[in-house]
Amino acid sequence: MTIKKFKPITSTLRYKTIRETYHLSPGGVPPKLISKMNQKAGRSSSGRISVWWRGGGHKRRYRVIDWKRNKEGIHGYVDSFHYDPNRSADLALIRYVDGDYRFILSPDGLKRGDKIVAAQDAPIRTGNCLPLMKIPPGSVIHNVELSPGRGAQMIRSAGSSAVLAGEDGKYSIIKLASGETRKVNHNCRATIGQVGNREHNLVVLGKAGTSRWLGRRPHVRGVVMNPVDHPLGGGEGKSAGGRHPCTPWGKPTKGYKTRKKNKVSNRFIMQRRINKRIANR
């Protein structure tokens, strides 16, 4: 996979980069793997904004992904690769020997025609899914479950991966890319390999219009708003706000810890993630 640059014949193309998609299939997706998806523009079920600076953008349809990998012991073959507008990773369309088709996240290095399987005794090979207790320490994994049978919840974005560091009783120890080390039940499943599209972070949009196509609206600073809209707003002329950075509801935004102390998952974290801002000083 390569990143394509353009000749700077316009101010936009001077910086814009895209990735080559010659390996992706333009179509041929079973209808049952695509469903309708309504855009909510960052609104919650009550109609209030819960995620700011969202709205508009191109229409999308949801791709149904097999997060649970519950085709136990049934072999499948990689049929084609597809673009997913709802996530940074690409999808691999798997054709199983029983005639079923399913989408999975495309691991890095997976090729068309490769054989994959999800089973207790599956070979340690890219794309195969098996319980953490069956994976040797030091293996690179992604699509990790947090509760057995619930489906993958961690390590799903483009280029992400984790390392299985060892075992501790009925738990497996996983080291994440952020530096965090946590314990996960060894009956939880994971997929071997690293998520594909590793060069996703090198893509430069180049212009504001591309952000709008993706449904991202302009992000406005609080100090340029009116006092009715933000605590930092108002003032005669330009102002610095007069207080520490905060949200529209007055909560601090820098250095203020929001993680709940009694959260259930806290007891499984052995080492917190590395604060890159402090580490780079």
Percent of the chain with pLDDT over 70: 96
Instruction: Label residues 75-98 b or e (16+ Cβ within 10 Å = b).
Output: ebebbbbbebeebbbbbbbbebee
CATH of residue 255's domain is 4.10.950.10
State pTM to two decimals.
0.84
Q: Domain for residue 30, yes or no?
A: yes
Q: Domain for residue 209, yes or no?
A: no
Residue 94, pLDDT above cutoff 70: yes
Q: Using 50, 70 and 90 to split pLDDT, how confident is the model at 245?
A: very high
Domain count, the chain: 2
Q: Domain for residue 111, yes or no?
A: yes
The answer to whether residues 193 and 55 belong to one domain is yes
Taking CA 137 as the corner, what is the angle to CA 133 and CA 140, rounded to the nearest 5 degrees?
A: 100
The answer to whether residues 65 and 191 belong to one domain is yes
The answer to whether residues 181 and 242 belong to one domain is no
Residue 277, pLDDT above cutoff 90: no
Q: Domain for residue 104, yes or no?
A: yes
Torsion over CA of 171, 275, 197 and 160, rounded to 10 degrees? 0
The answer to whether residues 178 and 91 belong to one domain is yes
Task: At 75, list the tokens.
Answer: 């072999």
Domain that holds residue 127: 21-201
Question: Which helix (DSSP H) or strand (DSSP E) does residue 213 occupy?
Answer: helix 208-213
DSSP 8-state code for residue 106: -
CATH of residue 133's domain is 2.40.50.140
The answer to whether residues 171 and 266 belong to one domain is no
- Residue 271 has a pLDDT of 78
The answer to whether residues 175 and 254 belong to one domain is no
Residue 276, pLDDT above cutoff 80: no
Task: At 180, list the tokens.
Answer: 């965090």
Looking at every residue in the chain, the average pLDDT score rounds to 88
Q: What is the C-alpha separation between 127 and 93, in angstroms, rounded?
A: 12
